[in-house]
Homo-oligomer: A and B are copies of this chain.
Amino acid sequence: MAGNGDVRTRRVTQREIARIAGVSQATVSAVLNGSTSATVRIPPATRERVQRALEQARYVADPAARRLAGLGNKILGVFTYEPAMSVETVDFYGPLLTGIEESAERLGCDLLFLTASPVVGGRRRLLDRRTRFRLADGCLLLGQDMDEQEVAELVAEGYPCVAVGRREEPSIPYVGVDYGALTLELLTRARALGHRRATYLHADRQTPSALDRVEALGRATAGGVLDVRTEIVTDDDLERAARDAAGRGETLVLCENAFTAARVGSALVDDDTVSVAALGETEGHAVAGRQVSGFRLPRTRMAHEALTLLHRIIDGEAAPAKRHRLLPGRVEPGETLRAADGASR
């Protein structure tokens, strides 16, 4: 039957309670919801009788029925475009999950992880006939490689969504990190250390945050902070490109993330004249015992803010204008970004 069998296990319903208390199902519902409309009134005596029956029979509302009746049920969906708890991805998702769980507990919400969404073309697909996210009052979207069109459709439908990470599509609410400001701050620090020319090695991914970094590098170059050359490389070309940069006399190689920075750092470990830094989170990454220079991103706080925003949108409290949020991060000085005059061992 593959999980499609009859799963009715409930025994005690409002009707059952009504029978015990000698009232109607409607009255039970009214007591449960504390309805004090002008038209429906419950005197304390009846109310108490029903309450006792509820206690005694251990009544628990059926969330499916509540949902069907058009009410929210305090379930928030969590959609990740790749597995979130696997050994490989837990470094990235872990801090986010921490924040998500904390916030959900604080808000009194349960979390529906949409682990069943079918994988099409390497990433999970959100809009599919089998998807169950509509059971949730709203949905949190995590992952670099998001199909913004798909999400925009959902938003247009009126379904509450919040993305973690900046999005281009203006209709999508999001909570992200200000990569532009962080990039600029790191470059300013590099300039203070004597650097003048750098190369940014990247894979030319078109995600919003990747574009933010490139754009900030462009502004920095135009503004005379640092002259940054950008080069699109594949994973195989990384070391070659780094050595080329050194050969051109550049003193700093910037990378997209801590992994590539670590590889570049290893390739150049003998060359004290070239610094390396990542334009991403570098916690726990080191080259030859040296902490990789880069960013510290407030991932747990991002999750907090995202869940809070989602909750507000569900409650209709978030003005459309206040649905985009960029949080500040922190530059991690690290030990792989050193003074440019080099040879300072």
Contacts and interface: CB of A to CB of B under 8 A. Distances in A.
B105 A114 contact: no
Contacts of A158: 9
Nearest to A68: B64
Contact of A67 (B5, B64, B114): B64
Contacts of A65: 64, 68
Nearest to A158: B9
A138 B85 CA distance: 21
A3 B137 contact: yes
Interface string A1-43: 1111111111100000000000000000000000000000000
A232 interface: no
A70 to B, nearest CB: 5
Given A83-B102, A98-B86, A135-B64, A3 B112 contact: no
B115 A63 contact: no
A345 interface: no
Contacts of A60: 127-129, 131, 134
A110 B132 contact: yes
Given A60-B129, A109-B115, A157-B11, A316 B134 contact: no
A74 B129 contact: no
A143 to B, nearest CB: 14
Q: Is the interface of A mostly helix, strand, loop or mixed?
A: loop
A71 interface: yes
A48 interface: no
A317 to B, nearest CB: 9
B113 A113 contact: yes
Interface in A155-200: 157-160
B110 A72 contact: no
Nearest to A54: B129
Given A5-B316, A110-B132, A116-B110, A68 B74 contact: no
A113 B114 contact: no
Nearest to A11: B157
A12 B64 CA distance: 18
A142 interface: no
- Report the contact-size class of chain A (Cβ under 8 Å from the partner): 35 or more
A133 to B, nearest CB: 8
Interface in A75-98: 75, 83-87, 90, 94, 97-98
Given A64-B64, A109-B3, A102 B131 contact: no
A309 interface: no
A318 to B, nearest CB: 13
A101 interface: yes
Given A2-B315, A10-B134, A111-B112, A61 B129 contact: yes
A132 B60 CA distance: 8
B72 A100 contact: no
Which 10 pairs show the lowest CB-CB distances between chains A and B? A64-B67, A85-B101, A111-B113, A85-B97, A104-B115, A64-B64, A63-B135, A63-B132, A9-B158, A7-B72
